[in-house]
A = this chain, B = another copy of it.
Amino acid sequence: MSQDGAGVDLETSLGYLLKEASSVLRSAMEEVLRPLGMSVTHYSCLELLAQRPGLSNSELARGTFVTRQSMNVLLRTLERAGHVTRPAEAPVGKVLPARLTPRGRRKLEKATVAVRSVEIRMLAGLTETEQSGAFRILQSMIHSLRDGNAGA
């Protein structure tokens, strides 16, 4: 199974483990977000908007790791639900800065509690040192991958 030597051994592959961790984290978030009627992308968009008000559609897309087309449809949904507002006219260029409505902010608060509990659960059993180590290592991976992408 794992002794053929030619392949990427699933049992020891950090890439596979990364995918698994991400998958489990996503499932856990979906589970706690579902009672609130929100998806992970929903929440990510709102959280991003809370921390950086006035972000544009494209910027939100990059921050949540989806295409700007996908973010566009999500943003429409959030506008229709009254969680987000965008001006009808672009103040400058074509960029429409999005903002949370009070209602969106209230919705987000509940979601944040739920999501934070998941993150805390995920980190249980890890020391501060391990957490900061993981942080640095993940950043290194991201950096290496991005550089390679741009360079190729």
A residues with a Cβ closer than 8 A to B are 1-2, 4, 6-10, 12-15, 17-29, 31, 47-48, 50-52, 63, 65, 108-109, 112, 115-116, 118-119, 121-126, 130-131, 133-135, 137-146, 148-149, 152
Contacts and interface: CB of A to CB of B under 8 A. Distances in A.
A15 B33 CA distance: 15
- How many copies of this chain sit in the oligomeric assembly? 2
Given A6-B112, A31-B152, A125-B144, 9 more contacts: A6-B109, A7-B116, A8-B47, A18-B138, A21-B22, A125-B143, A130-B133, A130-B140, A134-B134
Identify the 5 closest CB pairs spanning chains A and B, nearest first. Answer: A22-B22, A23-B65, A121-B148, A134-B137, A24-B145
A8 B112 contact: yes
A63 B18 CA distance: 13
A24 B124 contact: no
The majority secondary structure among interface residues of chain A is: helix
B152 A20 contact: no
Given A14-B123, A144-B123, A19 B27 contact: no
B7 A50 contact: yes
A31 B137 contact: no
Contact of A140 (B19, B112, B125): B125
Contact of A144 (B12, B51, B121): B121
Nearest to A40: B19
A123 B16 CA distance: 13
Contact of A142 (B21, B142, B148): B21
